[in-house]
Structure 1
Amino acid sequence: MQSPKKLKELLARRAAVTVPGAANAMFARVIEDIGFEAVYVTGAGIANMYLGVPDLGLTTVTEVADTVARISDSVTLPIIADADTGFGNPLNMVRTVRLLERAGAAGLQIEDQVFPKKCGHFSGKKVIATDEMVQKIKAAVDSRVDNDLQIIARTDARAVEGFERAIERAHAFVEAGADVIFVEAPLTVDELARIPREIPVPHVANIVFGGNTPDPGRAKLAEFGFSIVLYANAALQAALKASYDVLSALHRDGDLQAVGEKLASFKERQRSVAKPVWDELESRYRVNG
């Protein structure tokens, strides 16, 4: 676990730092092992992998906090936690911030959808009034213990009220105390370019493979002025595809000979969960005699 100050410094660089998402500690360890600078605890990923359901607001704050805590225990990266809508009204937001900060989050993403929310790239979304979201942001800011804990305010208004209204909401969120802005699901590269230009705070770009937002590439997003670029469920989608491929072959052939190259080796698997570290601990605390 890293302090929120580390995430704050990363955001201030405005370098479009790539931040993959993890739904569990294993994925988070892979993200750290590869060399990424931060990890995003994905609410959609928790819904998909923990519950086996779509991202429709079915997870609870305690389930998210439990996942954040497990990841915090497993990696040293700063953690951005997907706090959805705060799981209710401003009072729920107070509890959500306290739980997730205590669990190890360095930043919290909160959004202006009606509770229960939907995936930002699903149709049929609804947003709460701007004034209601402003009060949630104020509750989040007031509830954090460490003033460096980053409050990332997301608006889903692009799909509901249009791009200009989304920009207006983002300005209001900054005035309310949000540290970072996240305009979800812009539809064009021109819209992406306008967001950091018109709102002078750090920004998040969310790139969903197969989603609504075009991916102009990291260099262009850095040129626009984005601080981080989320690939929230790339690991999940890759694992799901590989699981179907490997298990289908196993079902068809009765063995793994045709798909062996798709599997991590036994050695790679143990290294990814730091087995040598645990071996050393076991040796250190072994009872002699």
Structure 2
Amino acid sequence: MSGNHLGEFLRARRAALRPQDAGLASHGVRRVAGLRREEVAVLAGVNADYYARLEQGRERNPSAQVLDALGRALRLDPDGRAHLHQLAGTVPSSRLAPTTDRVSPALRQLLDGLLAAPAFVINRSLDVLAANTLAQALHSPFEPMDNLARMVFLDPAARQFYEWWGHTAQAVVGNLRRAAGLDPDDSGLRELVGTLSRHSPDFTHLWNTHTVHGKTRAPKHLLHPDVGPLALTYQAFDVGDAPGQQMIVYQAEPLSSSAHALSLLGSLHATSNQAARGGRP
């Protein structure tokens, strides 16, 4: 990640937008993908030279009004607009709050109390900081269950486990891009991005799109080797006393085949653990 984060984001989103997407006519062969700088400037109502300086990193203090106009011109969704403002420093950023990877005893107790739902805690870099027994059972195909991005892109189990692997991969990268906007100087995130870039061309391609996503309620379609297909939804909760941490809770529709499969998975995992302890309860 270079120092011109704002310019990189603007260039990537401009390249991803076709003229027809912005209501512009396209004449002749274009030398570059997406919109031209001049077209973005016209759509946003800003001077073309000023916009060029923004992309080049020669102008680093755009107003909130200019950023709002650029967000509309580039057809950014709410996550993308928030990311744009964070990169420019025009809104308070939660990166200013100290973060921690320590999971409190109270939160661990809450995780362990969720017996019928897989639940785990992650940080902004998608490191898994803690997980309850059912979450560990659910992710047992991975070795280890340590970082969601590493698991998705570098663990061979991922492409069978995530039935919609491509959608999951996009969401993971979008979350990492959002984290980079909150704290571009995070050394752990830089190291993770470097590792993934070296070993996964799929990650590199998605990372270079600069697409930003926050956690949603999107369904998860998983295929577990022990219990078969699982259709789950999830909720993401910010941990109030630990900035940067989120608790993720998966759920199955009550009385559905996925709910029965989760229950069976918990029983199998408990039996396996008991056997590993030599039959001791």
Give the alignment's TM-score, normalised by structure 2.
Answer: 0.24
Q: Relative contact order (alpha carbons < 8 A, sep ≥ 6): 1 or 2 greater?
A: 1
Rg comparison, structure with higher value? 2
Give the alignment's TM-score, normalised by structure 1.
Answer: 0.23
